[in-house]
Structure 1
Amino acid sequence: MKLHDDIHNYYEKLVLDEIIKQKINEALDVDTLADFCCTVLNQLPPRYIRFEVDMAFYLPQSERVEMEEKVKAAIEESKKLISMRGNIEQA
């Protein structure tokens, strides 16, 4: 059963944006990247939304910055875990 096609975790977008920004997607194969994303997202609190526009309109800038910092920290921790297995260079 699926709740609704529009419902998703807002952190997914932030994580993907940061992964692309850091070009991690270019350094990992598809399976490792999927595992990496799970590792990152499991460190973050869920923030479910239905429409992106709601977050853009209602999310205070300070909270947005805090969420982005949490994403960066989770990515760095996940990079350490993945690099231990020899799959990604430590930045």
Structure 2
Amino acid sequence: MKLDDDVHNYYEHLVLEQIERLELSKTKTEDYLADLCCLALNQIPPRYIRFDVDMSFYLPQSEKQQMEMNAINAVKHAIGYLDNNPKTQT
């Protein structure tokens, strides 16, 4: 078993989904997006899984909605931080 292939943080998917929803790749650099992902994910406790389908079938809808809101808020705060602290951008 290779952990980096078999196990991942489900929040990575949710954060990337929010970044896509905001269409940030059209206006921001790859470095900005990488920093944004790191800052957002560091605000949320990780939720490790092996298969995304596990989250779809076994997670209560209320908890899934809370996780989505956590990702949305984390991205929003990370954008605010990066946009207000231009020296931190690479």
Q: Secondary structure at the match of 1:70?
A: helix
The percent identity for this pair of structures is 49
Instruction: Tell me the TM-score normalized by structure 2.
Output: 0.87
The amino acid that maps onto 1:10 is Y
Consecutive unaligned residues in structure 1, runs of 5 or more: 87-91
**Where do residues 5-20 of structure 1 align in structure 2 (5 Å cutoff)?**
5-20=5-20
Instruction: Please give the root-mean-square deviation of Cα atoms over the aligned residues, in Å.
Output: 1.6
Q: Secondary structure at the match of 1:44?
A: coil
- Structure 2 vs 1, CA of residues 85 and 65 (structure 1 numbering), >3 Å: closer, same or farther? same
The amino acid that maps onto 1:8 is H
CA distance in 2, matches of 1:45, 1:17: 17
Deviations 1:34-85 (A, max 9, x none): 0110000000110000001111110110001000111111111111111113
Aligned residues between the structures? 86
Matched with 1:42 is 42
CA distance in 2, matches of 1:59, 1:25: 30
Q: Secondary structure at the match of 1:5?
A: helix
2:72 matched to 1:84?
A: no
Deviations 1:7-57 (A, max 9, x none): 100000000111100112222111111011000000011000000111111
Matched with 1:72 is 72
